[in-house]
Amino acid sequence: MRIKSFLILTITLFTIWVILNGKLTPEVLLTGGLVAIVVSLLFCRTCEVFTEIRLTPKAVLYSVLYVFVFMRELVKSNLDVAGRVVSPKLPINPGFVEVKTKLHSKIGRMILANSITLTPGTLTVEINDDRLFIHWIDVQGGNIEKDTEMIVQTFEKYLEVIYG
């Protein structure tokens, strides 16, 4: 078992527990701590998911910033898709595009792919090494560099600091 993965999973589970309970009573904290430790011990024997996370102050800051960047992109894409639904004059040019990522870690690529999929108008279909294949509601770029810039780079610069 990797200590780093165990600690990150325990802290993550405990934080989720406290947020869901909404209380900071000793009973809630003790129960959450014990449950988080037991679950981490049970599931973290072969856990390698968190080994690629960098635990530097800069990475922690970028993790917090990433949440806000993702929320901003989520709102922007929701408004874009809603505008296309309401106004039939807006162009819809669906298709598949290939983009390239600079991320080296598997978890970084997974979070990038999920972030792209969670924003309306895009859906990550496949990850193949440093290439992502995405279905896009309005294909604009036409080449891999332009498509990468439009879809990936907003998320990638934060994930690169967090995961490498």
Of the chain, the end-to-end C-alpha distance in Å amounts to: 22
Report CA-CA distances (Å) from 77 to 12, 82, 119, 121, 150: 28, 8, 6, 7, 12
How far apart CA 143 and CA 141 sit, in angstroms, is 6
Spacing of C-alpha 134 from chain mean position = 15
Tell me the average pLDDT of the chain. Answer: 85
pLDDT at 1: 46
> What is the dihedral sign for C-alpha 134, 137, 143, 146?
negative
What pLDDT is attached to residue 89?
A: 80
Q: How would you classify the pairing of strands 95-100 and 122-128?
A: unpaired
Cα–Cα dist 142/145, whole Å = 9
pLDDT tens sequence across 3-55: 777 888 888 889 889 989 888 899 989 999 999 999 888 877 666 666 667 77
- Strands across the sheet with 95-100, in order? 95-100, 131-136, 122-128
Give pLDDT tens digits for 105-135.
888 888 899 999 998 888 999 998 888 898 8
Query: What pLDDT band is residue 150 in, cutting at 50, 70 and 90?
Result: confident
